[in-house]
Amino acid sequence: MKRLVAGLLILVFIISLSIGIAVSQKSAYATSKITLKLGAWASSPAEKKIVQNQIAAFKKLYPNVDIKLVEIVGDYNQKMQLLTASKTEPDIFYMDSMPAWQYIAKGVLEPLDYWMKNTM
């Protein structure tokens, strides 16, 4: 249960950060429609509902930004490894901190320092 709550908090943070990024680049979104893929682990109907509510709230603020939910069923890390190896990973996704170093080492994860400094 603690892992689920921690995962959901991380997801809320990532979506909030995405909103901050969108605010900093809002002029780019004013005239063009973009689609972002959001990767989320399909652990339970409750988690899916929370993610869908976050997407709906984001779409109200940014109607030109479409969020496509990519539900990952089963072994999340294994599926993410497959997606990153094939360069089809979601634009935004969350993960446990334990495997994160592997993605950092491969250059898959973008450092958030700039965005944290300039959008918060």
Domains and their CATH numbers in the chain:
2-119 (3.40.190.10)
- Decide: helix, strand or coil at residue 40: strand
**Pairing between strand 92-93 and 34-41?**
parallel
Angle (CA) 43 100 116, round 5°: 100
Lowest pLDDT segment from 11-25, 42-56, 65-79, 99-113: 11-25
Mean pLDDT of 23-30: 52
33 vs 75: CA distance, rounded Å: 32
- Locate all alpha helices (DSSP H) within the chain, ordered by sequence: 2-24, 26-31, 45-61, 76-85, 97-105, 113-119
Tens of pLDDT, residue by residue over 14-24, are: 666 555 555 55
Tokens 């599926």 label which residue?
A: 79
